[in-house]
Amino acid sequence: MVRDLDADFDVVGLDGIARLVYRYVLSHGTVRPAELAQDVPLGGADGVSVLERLRAAGLVNRAREGNGYTAVDPRTALRTLADRTAARVDRVRSAIPDLAELFEQAGGTPTSGAGVRVVDDPALIGAWYTRLQHEVTKEFLQFDRPPYILADQNPVEPLVLERGVLWRVVYAAEVLDRPGAWEEMRYAATQGERARIARTVPTKLAVADRRIALVNTTLDPRRPTALVVEDQPLVDLLCAAFEAVWEEAVEVPPTDSLEGATPPTRGPTAEDHALLTLLASGATDETIARELGISSRTLRRRSADLLRRLGAANRFQAGVRAAARGWI
């Protein structure tokens, strides 16, 4: 993926129009608003206002006579702007302890430290889950199953994956009861998430860097309870439980791995691969037919054909034999 280097300037307050105007000034030395309006597509923005924003940021100067704007050497101007931004970020960091204290007082969140703590407020459980995502640096492990206390879409995960974090998740088959979940899983796999589906998972779990874990002890959507675990032996035990379920689960193929693929000789087609994954996950016929966009009758026919080709008597045996052949 090609990185948009210009987008990095958002952090210092330069949006797309400001960057465009700044590049124009740099390439022309001195410009006037009329020239800018004629040469640069401003998308309805006022050229003088944009130039004044650049001037306030210290990137251009305005001549005393006339209405010309001249670029300041970016080696000096941008470094100064970056330093000012860094100073503001440092001030935000310095406010974290006071703000955290307010948050803890309001929600009763225990202060951090080794051990095990109970969290029985849905909002705080969600806050801990998000916190683990922000803090993880190397590896994130997760059991995903209903019920959910946060919105369906997770805006933090793409940012975590972008940092190079290994994200592994085992979904319970019942997740597929939610329409669209199958496509969401496959899309997440194309973004770098390593996902598998199990017939069931014991609870909801999130582990950051094999150092701290959030594990649900009750799954009542009205009164969920979770433990935040930092005792290393207990975290290691939870990681071992995750690995055991992971080994038995079925891999979720990414979206692009099934589109336009040429099936190996005597192996599964792209459609077979998707069907085998869903069959092995333990999803119901109704769920599988819906996710694959086929009728129940077609599903039964294709399932019977797969079992015949694999020499299997049932779905479980089909999953074992397909795995042994490297089909899933």
SS (H, E, C) 247-288: HHCEECCCHHHCCCCCCCCCCCCHHHHHHHHHHHHCCCHHHH
What per-residue confidence (pLDDT) applies to 215? 92
- For residue 263, pLDDT over 60 is answered with no
Lowest-confidence segment of 80-84, 119-123, 295-299 by average pLDDT: 80-84
Query: What single-letter amino acid sits at 139?
Result: E
DSSP three-state, residue 242: helix
Contact 192, 167 (CB under 8 A): yes
Share of the chain above pLDDT 90, in %: 15
pLDDT band for position 12 (cuts 50, 70, 90): low
Q: Cα(133)–Cα(208) distance, rounded to whole angstroms?
A: 7
What per-residue confidence (pLDDT) applies to 193? 92
Domains of the chain: 1-107 (1.10.10.10), 112-251 (3.30.870.10), 258-324 (1.10.10.10)
Q: Cα(185)–Cα(196) distance, rounded to whole angstroms?
A: 9
Cα 166 to chain centroid distance, Å, stands at 11
What per-residue confidence (pLDDT) applies to 317? 64
What per-residue confidence (pLDDT) applies to 103? 62
Q: Which of 64, 68, 60 is nearest to 31 (CA)?
A: 68
Rank 22-26, 117-121, 315-319 by mean pLDDT and report only the highest.
117-121
Residue position matching structure tokens 């190397």: 138
To the nearest whole number, what is the mean pLDDT of the chain? 78
Lowest-confidence segment of 51-60, 203-212, 232-241 by average pLDDT: 51-60
Residue position matching structure tokens 């946060």: 150
Cα 5 to chain centroid distance, Å, stands at 21
Higher pLDDT, residue 160 or 6: 160
Lowest-confidence segment of 16-25, 141-150, 241-250, 310-319 by average pLDDT: 310-319
Rank 114-118, 254-258, 292-296 by mean pLDDT and report only the highest.
292-296
Rank 195-209, 246-260, 283-297 by mean pLDDT and report only the highest.
195-209
Query: What single-letter amino acid sits at 80?
Result: T
Contact 321, 312 (CB under 8 A): yes
Lowest-confidence segment of 171-180, 246-255, 294-303, 316-325 by average pLDDT: 316-325
Extract the tokens encoding 240.
Answer: 């071992």
- For residue 7, pLDDT over 50 is answered with yes
Lowest-confidence segment of 10-19, 28-37, 76-85, 263-272 by average pLDDT: 263-272
Question: CA angle, corner 113, sides to 112 and 118, nearest 5?
Answer: 70
Residue-level length of the chain: 328
- For residue 251, pLDDT over 50 is answered with yes
What per-residue confidence (pLDDT) applies to 112? 44
CB atoms within 10 A of CB 154: 16
Share of the chain above pLDDT 70, in %: 80
pTM (global) more than 0.95? no
Please classify residue 91 by burial: count the beta carbons closer than 10 Å to its beta carbon, then call 0-12 exposed, 13-18 middle and 19+ buried.
exposed
130-137 contact pairs (CB < 8 A, 24+): 130/156, 132/206, 132/207, 132/208, 132/212, 132/214, 133/157, 133/160, 133/206, 133/208, 135/208, 135/209, 135/212, 136/160, 136/165, 136/208, 136/209, 137/163, 137/165, 137/209
What per-residue confidence (pLDDT) applies to 209? 95
Which residues touch 192 (CB under 8 Å, ≥6 apart)?
Answer: 161, 167
Element (H, E) at 190: helix 181-190
pLDDT band for position 4 (cuts 50, 70, 90): very low
The phi, psi pair for 218, rounded to 5°, reads -135, 150
